[in-house]
């Protein structure tokens, strides 16, 4: 009796989870960047793993039903079957290579930002995000934790001429990005680890105090998205948020021009 | 008790300590050196600590379903519950239970030894574990409370005042507790490894060992190799916190104030942690896999399919587990090119894991399946292990991991593959060996009730977390109210998960009642109620007494899986029975039907 129930329960579990996985309201939020290749990988992986999940449980359910104890039967004495073992190993390995190889291709583009990317800086702290854009010279000035003070909250090195025209959006501000232009973020942290995460862009990267980490993507849908922190950073982790506004190049340039430069804010020069 | 150890044959020259059965209460039950008593001590302690871990999970689930409505749960103690829950479950419950509980009970009995190689060390291992538990709970009464830095205790956040709760004495006590636990695990591990290698009964070759012993043995080796990394990382972190060193803390500016550290590297800690942490998950899953293999073979009345492949898989998983640690660090900021290697090695682990799964299924094929409570749990284990393990193919494949890591997708993955799977394996083992260890039967109806609620409930709790994770619900969040891209219905889903978690929690009361009631009132058990082949079922007394085997130690003639051998009169032939058709069937290579 238990055998029959267990077989039914296993089948119901796979049917239920499979249906909801494919038609349920919870899934990837709508993509808003170039990383469609990551989405394709997720879809392919979902199909492959779901087939395996269904197969394992269905076959088990069948065996459970078929070979449940009945009086007078005796089990088959089967110790091994090398041929079957080999076939299964080969099929599994093919499946894995089939998922891994394209995955590694996607990853290698993930870590190679295009040369024409707009470079800008993300600075994280407990519990807010700040940003810095290069000015007209297209170069971010040097910065260091040492230079942080009440006014210079990002620690821009005021002796570096490249930094004078940078535009700093202090903690709590909003990130603006031009649509369809690759951006490369240089991520920094002032205090502890954080992680820059925008679900619709499919990207995430930790920020590490004492170093710089990098992340690139091309936002391809105008709109406002949420920046979340994805690495535990203390009590305020859950509310460490910011927005990113993706807009046309003109709107972006117009907005950027309205922002004061570092030398204006700090009164240098 | 009458035929106690006096005058036992000196088969292995290690017997002095067993010559005298202790008689006083203290030496018999408290400072006992008998592996079976120590196993009970580990089991009971780990289960009680586990209850605390489970209560914390309810509190977290209540907060996630009803954010802000329980004034008891604030952002700081949410993180504390979370951190302590994770630590307790992984280390103080699962590791302690599987190695200290099952390892202690099963190794000597299954290999035909009278006790562990170092009984005194064994006792010390338990009491050292006990001290680590005291230190763990001591953190609850120091100012600031226990650490809320996550079970991964990543610096700088875990030790910088004002970052996470308990970042002063809470984390220090936790680190001390972990260091003491490592000492305990090392004593235990050395003992288990030595015992398996040195004290096997006559005739018990390595390839005759039941898979439970293989699982525990390889897990012990992993523990010996992995724990030192945790120890070193923990001590360095403790120094950063107490002595102002800067192993892991660079120059930082926190809340506008520059702190005194300079030059450290936070990522170094992550490497040390995961060099321990990844093998750690196999330390808990390998023994559970072994136990499940033995239970499935027994209740299928069939040899385990592909024994040799099972052993090789255990060894392969154990070996690979030291080569994959940085798959936890794909977005940590480590050199991005490392990821190629770690992705390849990680997906390679899928092959031996799949082999094990196929072999469990093929063991069922053609069997004469007997659905006792332990069998149900063992099959449940296979199902949840697969449900969790398959998503390793997302998280190990770097590019796919990027959007999913640090969301509930990961929470679903590790709970299914190593959290609840290991728990289901533990339940399978508890029910299976209960008659031997206690001498009474548990109540089968209650056992099955416990199974159905726990098994179905487990899926109800954790499978939906995959969907929430894909939708972008980050982990370690006190509340998701402000995460706007989540569909509103994810809130209902969170309530559903919480209800399932509380229901599963309630089902554990059935388990507790069944245990306690059966210890006193259960039906008297026969020595070998499951008609099993392995040695622990062949002891002269049930429960086995001090010295395990009476006057003569068992001699082993066959492997542990001679079930339903053609031509044999019974459908099982114990390992200590000589001759018979089984060996011929094996020797002639006629293995396929
Ligand atoms: C019914 C049982 C369980 C429930 C309802 C449960 C629930 C939870 C919840 C709600 C979290 C916090 C997620 C977050 O905020 O990010 C969590 C974290 C965790 N759980 Fe469980 N859990 C259960 C059993 C287990 C078991 C058996 C293990 C053993 C491995 C385990 C290990 C962990 C770990 C390691 C974490 C991560 C802690 C951290 O993020 O630092 N849990 N669990
Ligand atoms: Cu955070
Ligand atoms: Cu891992």
- Give the model confidence (pLDDT) of B108-153 as tens digits: 999 999 999 999 999 999 999 999 999 999 999 999 999 999 999 9
> Residue A192: which CATH number?
2.60.40.420
**Cβ-nearest to B355 among A20, A42, A89:** A89
Residue of B144, B161, B263, B369 for testing the chain A interface, max A β-carbons within 10 Å: B369
- Do residue A105 and residue A180 come from a single domain? no
Tell me the per-residue pLDDT of B331-368, one tens digit each, with 9 for 90 and over. 999 999 999 999 999 999 999 999 999 999 999 999 99
Print the SS3 string covering A37-91.
HHHHHHHHHHHHHHHHHHHHHHHHHHHHHHCECCCCCCCCCCCCCHHHHHHHHHH
- Do residue A91 and residue A133 come from a single domain? no
Neighbour-count burial of A58, counting CB atoms closer than 10 A to its CB (0-12 exposed, 13-18 middle, 19+ buried) = middle
- Do residue A176 and residue A241 come from a single domain? yes
Closest alpha carbon to A45 in A95, A117, A114: A95
Tokens of B321: 């587990």
Interchain contact, B376 vs A2, CB within 8 Å: yes
- Do residue A58 and residue A41 come from a single domain? yes
Closest alpha carbon to A13 in B421, B461, B291: B461
A226 touches B at CB < 8 Å: yes
**Ligand 1 interacting residues, C-beta cut-off 6 A:** B 57, 60-61, 82-83, 85-86, 89-90, 94, 150-152, 411, 415, 418-420, 423, 461, 475-476, 501, 504
Tell me the per-residue pLDDT of A214-250, one tens digit each, with 9 for 90 and over. 999 999 999 999 999 999 999 999 999 999 999 999 9
Asked if A192 and A220 count as a contact pair (C-beta separation under 8 A), the reply is no
Asked if B271 and B325 count as a contact pair (C-beta separation under 8 A), the reply is yes
From B53, B83, B85, B474, the mutation candidate for ligand 1 (largest count of ligand atoms within 8 A of CB) is B85
pLDDT at residue B520 is higher than 60:
yes
Predicted local confidence at residue B137, as pLDDT: 97
A223 three-state secondary structure: strand
Phi, psi values for residue B230, rounded to 5°: -65, -40
Residue nearest to atom 24 of ligand 1 (CA): B419
Mean pLDDT on B465-476: 96
- Do residue A125 and residue A246 come from a single domain? yes
- Do residue A204 and residue A182 come from a single domain? yes
How many whole angstroms separate alpha carbon A234 and alpha carbon B426? 34
pLDDT at residue B7 is higher than 50:
no
Predicted local confidence at residue B17, as pLDDT: 44
Q: State the residue range of the domain holding A215.
A: 118-266
Asked if B354 and A48 count as a contact pair (C-beta separation under 8 A), the reply is no
**Cβ-nearest to A67 among B368, B403, B448:** B368
Measured at the alpha carbon of residue A232, what is the angle toward residues A230 and A235, in degrees to the nearest 5? 120
Measured torsion, CA atoms of residues B79, B83, B89, B90, in degrees rounded to the nearest 10? 150
Query: What are the structural domains of chain B?
Result: 30-250 (1.20.210.10), 533-587 (no CATH)
Q: How far is CA A77 from CA A100, B530, B583, B586, in A?
A: 38, 18, 12, 10
Contacts of B454 in chain A (CB under 8 A): none
CB count in 10 Å sphere of residue B292: 31
Q: What is the full DSSP assignment across B37-76? A: HHHHHHHHHHHHHHHHHHHHHHHHHHHHHSTTS-TT--HH
- Do residue A86 and residue A9 come from a single domain? yes
pLDDT at residue B524 is higher than 90:
yes
Asked if B523 and B441 count as a contact pair (C-beta separation under 8 A), the reply is yes
How many whole angstroms separate alpha carbon B240 and alpha carbon B260? 11
The answer to pTM > 0.80 is yes
Tally of domains within chain A: 2
Burial A18-33 (b: 16+ CB within 10 A, else e): eebbeeeebbbbebbb
Asked if A99 and B350 count as a contact pair (C-beta separation under 8 A), the reply is no
Measured at the alpha carbon of residue B139, what is the angle toward residues B136 and B145, in degrees to the nearest 5? 140
Tokens of B98: 């599987």
Mean pLDDT on A76-90: 93
Domain boundary among A50, A77, A110: A110
- Do residue A147 and residue A102 come from a single domain? no
Mean pLDDT on A158-180: 91
Neighbour-count burial of B145, counting CB atoms closer than 10 A to its CB (0-12 exposed, 13-18 middle, 19+ buried) = middle
Asked if A44 and A233 count as a contact pair (C-beta separation under 8 A), the reply is no
Compute the mean pLDDT over every residue in chain B, rounded to the nearest whole number: 92
Domain boundary among A75, A93, A110: A110
pLDDT at residue A113 is higher than 80:
yes
Interchain contact, B466 vs A84, CB within 8 Å: no
How many whole angstroms separate alpha carbon B106 and alpha carbon B531? 17
Tokens of B345: 């090695």
Residues with CB under 5 A from ligand 3 (ion): B 278
Of ligand 1's atoms, which has the minimum distance to the CA of residue B414?
30
Category of B261 on φ-ψ map: left (φ > 0), alpha (ψ -120 to 50) or beta: beta
Tell me the per-residue pLDDT of B98-109, one tens digit each, with 9 for 90 and over. 999 999 999 999
Question: B476: CA distance to ligand 2 center in Å?
Answer: 9
- Do residue A51 and residue A181 come from a single domain? no
- Helix, strand, coil fractions of chain B, as percent rounded to 5: 65, 0, 35
Phi, psi values for residue B106, rounded to 5°: -85, -35
Tokens of B150: 């996550």
- Do residue A146 and residue A241 come from a single domain? yes
Domain boundary among A110, A129, A163: A110
Phi, psi values for residue A120, rounded to 5°: -150, 170
How many whole angstroms separate alpha carbon B413 and alpha carbon B420? 10
Question: B287: CA distance to ligand 3 center in Å?
Answer: 17
Cross-strand bridge partners of residue B254: B257
Phi, psi values for residue B14, rounded to 5°: -125, 20
Closest alpha carbon to B292 in B278, B310, B277, B280: B310
Question: Does a cis peptide bond (omega within 30 degrees of 0) precede residue A42?
Answer: no
- Do residue A163 and residue A56 come from a single domain? no
- Do residue A143 and residue A200 come from a single domain? yes
């Amino acid at each position: 009796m238990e055998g029959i129930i267990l077989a039914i329960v296993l089948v119901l579990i796979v049917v239920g989870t499979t249906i909801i996985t494919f038609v349920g309201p919870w899934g990837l939020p709508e993509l808003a960047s170039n990383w469609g290749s990551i989405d394709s990988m997720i879809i392919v992986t979902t199909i492959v793993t779901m087939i395996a999940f269904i197969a394992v449980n269905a076959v088990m359910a069948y065996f459970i039903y078929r070979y449940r104890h009945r009086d007078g039967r005796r089990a088959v004495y089967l110790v091994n079957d090398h041929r079957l073992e080999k076939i299964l190993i080969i099929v599994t390995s093919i499946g894995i290579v089939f998922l891994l190889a394209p995955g590694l291709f996607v990853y290698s583009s993930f870590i190679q930002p295009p040369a024409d990317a707009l470079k800008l800086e993300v600075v994280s702290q407990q519990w807010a995000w700040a940003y810095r854009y290069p000015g007209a010279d297209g170069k971010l000035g040097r910065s260091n934790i040492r230079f942080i003070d009440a006014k210079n909250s990002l620690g821009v090195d005021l002796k570096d001429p490249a930094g004078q025209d940078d535009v700093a959006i202090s903690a709590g501000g909003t990130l603006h990005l031009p649509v369809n232009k690759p951006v490369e973020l240089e991520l920094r942290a002032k205090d502890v680890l954080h992680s820059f995460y925008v679900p619709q862009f499919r990207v995430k990267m930790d920020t590490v105090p004492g170093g710089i980490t990098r992340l690139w993507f091309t936002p391809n849908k105008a709109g406002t998205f949420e920046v979340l922190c994805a690495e535990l950073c203390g009590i305020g982790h859950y509310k460490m948020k910011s927005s990113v506004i993706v807009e046309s190049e003109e709107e972006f340039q117009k907005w950027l021009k309205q922002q004061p430069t570092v030398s204006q804010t700090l009164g240098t020069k | 008790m009458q035929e106690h150890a006096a005058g036992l044959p000196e088969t292995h020259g290690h017997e002095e300590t067993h010559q005298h059965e202790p008689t006083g209460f203290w030496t018999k039950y408290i400072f006992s050196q008998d592996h079976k008593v120590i196993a009970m001590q580990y089991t009971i302690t780990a289960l009680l600590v586990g209850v605390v871990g489970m209560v914390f999970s309810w509190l977290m689930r209540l907060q996630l379903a009803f954010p802000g409505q329980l004034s008891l749960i604030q952002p700081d103690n949410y993180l504390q519950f979370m951190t302590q829950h994770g630590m307790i479950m992984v280390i103080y419950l699962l590791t302690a239970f599987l190695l200290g509980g099952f390892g202690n009970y099963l190794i000597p009995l299954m290999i035909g030894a009278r006790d562990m190689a170092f009984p005194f060390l064994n006792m010390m291992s338990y009491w050292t574990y006990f001290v680590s538990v005291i230190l763990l709970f001591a953190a609850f009464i120091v100012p600031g409370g226990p650490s809320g830095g996550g079970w991964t205790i990543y610096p700088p956040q875990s030790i910088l005042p004002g970052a996470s709760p308990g970042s002063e004495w809470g984390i220090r006590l936790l680190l001390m507790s972990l260091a003491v636990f490592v000492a305990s695990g090392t004593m235990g591990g050395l003992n288990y490894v030595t015992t398996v290698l040195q004290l096997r009964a006559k005739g018990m070759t390595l390839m005759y060992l039941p898979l439970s012993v293989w699982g525990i043995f390889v897990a012990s080796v992993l523990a010996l190799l992995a724990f030192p990394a945790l120890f070193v990382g923990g001590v360095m972190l403790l120094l950063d916190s107490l002595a102002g060193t800067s192993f892991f803390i660079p120059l930082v500016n926190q809340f506008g104030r520059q702190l005194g550290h300079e030059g450290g590297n936070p990522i170094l800690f992550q490497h040390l942690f995961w060099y321990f942490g990844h093998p750690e998950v196999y330390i808990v899953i390998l023994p559970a896999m072994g136990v499940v293999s033995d239970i499935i073979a027994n209740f299928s009345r069939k040899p385990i399919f592909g024994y040799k492949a099972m052993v090789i898989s255990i060894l392969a998983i154990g070996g690979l587990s030291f080569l994959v640690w940085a798959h936890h660090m794909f977005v940590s900021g480590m050199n991005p090119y490392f990821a190629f290697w770690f992705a390849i090695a990680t997906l390679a682990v899928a092959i031996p894991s799949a082999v094990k799964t196929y072999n469990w299924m093929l063991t069922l094929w053609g069997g004469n399946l007997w659905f006792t409570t332990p069998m149900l749990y063992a099959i449940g284990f296979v199902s949840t292990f697969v449900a969790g393990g398959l998503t390793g193919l997302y998280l190990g494949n770097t590019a796919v991991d990027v959007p999913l890591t640090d969301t509930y997708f990961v929470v679903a993955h590790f709970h299914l593959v190593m959290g609840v799977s290991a728990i289901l394996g533990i339940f399978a083992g508890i029910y299976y060996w209960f008659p031997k260890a206690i001498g009474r039967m548990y109540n089968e109806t209650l056992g099955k009730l416990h199974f159905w609620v726990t098994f179905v409930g487990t899926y109800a709790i954790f499978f939906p977390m995959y969907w929430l994770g894909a939708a972008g619900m980050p982990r370690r969040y006190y509340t998701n109210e402000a995460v706007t891209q989540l569909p509103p219905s994810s809130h209902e889903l969170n309530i559903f998960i919480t209800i399932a978690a509380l229901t599963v929690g309630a089902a554990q009361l059935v388990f507790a009642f069944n245990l306690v009631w059966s210890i006193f009132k259960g039906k008297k058990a026969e020595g070998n109620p499951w008609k099993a082949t392995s040695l622990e079922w062949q002891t002269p007394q049930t429960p086995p007494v001090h010295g395990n085997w009476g006057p003569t130690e068992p001699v082993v003639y066959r492997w542990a899986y001679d079930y339903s051998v053609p031509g044999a009169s019974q459908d099982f032939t114990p390992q200590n029975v000589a001759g018979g058709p089984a060996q011929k069937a094996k020797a002639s290579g006629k293995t396929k039907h």
